[in-house]
């Protein structure tokens, strides 16, 4: 389950490209908070701190603005395509106990049979979970399965209170034969 990260925001009064560049030059990243029929708020956050938080997928962030705090999730991040500097962050307000739609990575544990490899059809899966209990990842366990073994969405073990936002019969991973495995099979047949 994800931790709650803390971040301090400052309300923005100037807008446009020039003011956004000035904020980034000063070590701040422009951001916007919206959701729950509340008025959209434009803020800046520390670029270094927010960059560290954004390394965590589906990070739950408690933002302190003008003495008040809000619980938010990252909705979108805009980066410069060349320098990879974060240019803008979209944050969405969440309420404890509220269900949210998120994407989490799929991790492989174990291995398939020799001469085969695990082919991931979905590197991430969509889940519906409480905002405060979003898993960091889902795990697929392999125990020397051979070629032809399939893992469907319904086979994924999920924490309590979490459900898939994916059809139950969707293929998530399969075990396929490698070229080396096929060559060994042909050599054995000869």
pLDDT of residue 17: 83
* Residue-wise DSSP of 73-134: EEEEEEE-TTT--EEEEEEEE--TT-EEEEEEEEEEEEE--TTEEEEES-SEEEEEEETT--
* Residue-wise DSSP of 129-153: EETT---S-EEEEEES--TT-EEEG
Domains and CATH numbers, the chain: 4-94 (2.40.240.10), 100-189 (2.170.120.20)
pLDDT tens, the chain, 190 aa long: 457 889 998 888 888 888 888 888 888 889 999 988 788 889 999 989 988 888 888 888 999 998 888 889 888 898 989 988 888 899 988 888 888 888 888 888 888 888 888 888 888 888 888 888 888 888 888 888 788 888 888 888 888 888 888 888 888 888 888 876 555 555 555 5
pLDDT of residue 134: 84
pLDDT of residue 1: 47
């Amino acid at each position: 389950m994800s931790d709650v990260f803390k971040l301090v925001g400052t309300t923005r009064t100037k807008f446009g490209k020039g003011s956004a560049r000035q904020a980034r030059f000063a070590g701040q990243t422009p951001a916007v908070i919206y959701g729950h029929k509340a008025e959209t708020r434009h803020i800046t956050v520390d670029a270094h701190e927010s960059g560290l938080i954004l390394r965590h997928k589906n990070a739950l962030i408690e933002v302190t603005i003008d003495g008040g705090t809000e619980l938010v999730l990252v909705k979108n991040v805009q980066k410069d395509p060349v320098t990879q500097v974060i240019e803008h962050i979209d944050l969405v307000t969440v309420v404890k106990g509220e269900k949210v739609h998120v994407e989490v990575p799929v991790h492989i544990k174990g291995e398939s049979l020799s001469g085969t490899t695990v082919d991931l059809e979905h590197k991430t899966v969509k889940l519906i979970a409480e905002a405060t209990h979003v898993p960091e990842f889902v795990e697929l366990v392999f125990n020397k399965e051979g070629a032809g073994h399939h893992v469907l969405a319904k086979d994924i073990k999920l924490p309590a209170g979490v459900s898939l936002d994916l059809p139950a019969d969707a293929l998530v991973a399969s075990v396929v034969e490698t070229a080396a495995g096929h060559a060994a099979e042909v050599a054995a047949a000869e």
